[in-house]
Amino acid sequence: MKSSLLWKRVWRHKLFYLFLLPGIVWFFIFSYVPLYGLQVAFRDFTFVGGFTGSPWAGLKYFRQFFDYYQSSDIIRNTIVISLMKLLVGFPMPIILAILLNEIRNLKFKKTIQTLSYLPYFVSWIVVVTLMQRLLSMYGGPLNDLLSSFGAHPVQFMNNTTWFYPLVLGSDVWKNIGWNSIIYMAAIAGIDQQLYEAAKIDGASRFRQIWHVTLPGIRNIAVILFILATGSLMSAGFEQLLLLNGPATASIGSVLDVHVITSGIQQGRLSYAAAVGLFQSGIALILIVTVNWIARKVSDVSLF
């Protein structure tokens, strides 16, 4: 009786299941099949053998990675770069959103917003090409300017001294505006009466920001922070693939790029899969832990 009722409901929604079908199939092929294929990290992968037909290799490839003389450098670089991006790149959009909110001149505010969102829509390859042109030692505008003041030309690109500032700077420049949108939305949702009440109590602009604006964006900031910790093990492969070179490899080689170069370029697929699994395993542990802490401390959590 009950099952026939359910069947009736399902049948009534047949068109909607048809609408779902392409997505179900796509997510199965492009998300779940690769998950199943993760076992190549424990096998000696051959293309003929495929995911399940290749012989088992146990932890051989994990051991190979940890025995690799650069593996600790690669892990350290990944964590250093993504921690830098988290510590600087995370608060920046919040600061920008608060500053924008304090601007009373609407036209000026709109212009800043339009300009700050724009870099997000430009590809990393364009950003790096521009950086290389602007910072070049051979006729780059910045070095021209420096030498017109009598300074020696500085080699910015492919230089360990400037590598981290450039990675961090270009990352902030590209994402600050875009990431501020979500905080702008949260600030717009704050009840204006709270500001009125604070003003009546004699709160200055800074006190208003501290007691009204910041608590108003707290929840969304916690959620975004949890999400950001999930990517601590990936330092941004597009940017680093393009910015890192032999000269900066000692501080610029990161896990994501190592997976791509060893796997796709050198064809060591099982090894690269093992490195990738190590990376996403740690990421999963991080995100679950931070989520748990956030739920305990602030009652806000992702899941």
Partner 1 sequence: MGALYFYPRKFTLDNYAQVFDNRQIWQAYKITILRTVIGTAAHVLLCTLMAYALSKKTLPGRTFFTFYIFLPTIFSAGFIPYFITLQKLHLINSFWVYVIPMLFNFMHVVIIRTFLQGIPEEIEESARIDGLNDFQIFVRIILPLSGPVIATISLFIGVAHWNDWFTGAYYVSDKNLIPVQTLLQQMLTEAEALSSSMQRAAQQGGQTVNVNMAGATPESMRMALLVITVFPILCVYPFLQRYFVKGVMIGSVKG
Given the complex with partner 1, which of 176 and 198 has the nearer CB atom? 176
Kindly state whether residue 150 participates in binding partner 1, applying the rule CB under 8 A.
Answer: no
Torsion from C-alpha of 196, 200, 203, 207, nearest 10 degrees: -30
- H/E run at residue 12: helix 2-12
56 DSSP β-pair partners: 43
Kindly state whether residue 220 participates in binding partner 1, applying the rule CB under 8 A.
Answer: yes
Only one of the segments 37-45, 81-89, 166-174, 205-213 lies at the binding site for partner 1 (rule: CB under 8 A); that segment is: 37-45
Nearest alpha-carbon partner for 74 in 250, 296, 194: 250
Only one of the segments 82-90, 92-100, 120-128, 194-202 lies at the binding site for partner 1 (rule: CB under 8 A); that segment is: 120-128
Q: 43: which DSSP letter?
A: B
Kindly state whether residue 63 participates in binding partner 1, applying the rule CB under 8 A.
Answer: no
Give the total of residues touching partner 1 (CB under 8 A). Answer: 83
Kindly state whether residue 285 participates in binding partner 1, applying the rule CB under 8 A.
Answer: no
Q: Which of 56, 150, 246, 296 binds partner 1 (CB under 8 A)?
A: 246
Site for partner 1 in 68-107 (CB under 8 A): none
Q: Which of 59, 83, 247, 297 binds partner 1 (CB under 8 A)?
A: 247
Kindly state whether residue 263 participates in binding partner 1, applying the rule CB under 8 A.
Answer: yes
Does residue 257 contact residue 244 with C-beta atoms inside 8 Å?
yes
In the complex, minimum distance from the CB of residue 174 to partner 1, in angstroms, rounded to a whole number: 11
**Cα dihedral sign, 86-87-90-92:** negative
Does residue 142 contact residue 128 with C-beta atoms inside 8 Å?
no
What Rg do the C-alpha atoms of the chain give, in angstroms? 25
Which tokens is 103 given? 């601007």
Q: Which of 2, 9, 104, 296 binds partner 1 (CB under 8 A)?
A: 9
In the complex, minimum distance from the CB of residue 231 to partner 1, in angstroms, rounded to a whole number: 11
Kindly state whether residue 134 participates in binding partner 1, applying the rule CB under 8 A.
Answer: no
**Cα dihedral sign, 209-212-216-222:** positive
Q: Which of 88, 284, 293, 297 binds partner 1 (CB under 8 A)?
A: 284
Which tokens is 285 given? 């542990």
Residue 203, exposed/middle/buried by CB under 10 A (0-12, 13-18, 19+)? middle
Q: Which of 83, 99, 103, 125 binds partner 1 (CB under 8 A)?
A: 125
Kindly state whether residue 260 participates in binding partner 1, applying the rule CB under 8 A.
Answer: yes
Given the complex with partner 1, which of 118 and 297 has the nearer CB atom? 118
Kindly state whether residue 238 participates in binding partner 1, applying the rule CB under 8 A.
Answer: yes
**Cα dihedral sign, 154-123-91-230:** negative
Q: Which of 223, 251, 282, 300 binds partner 1 (CB under 8 A)?
A: 223
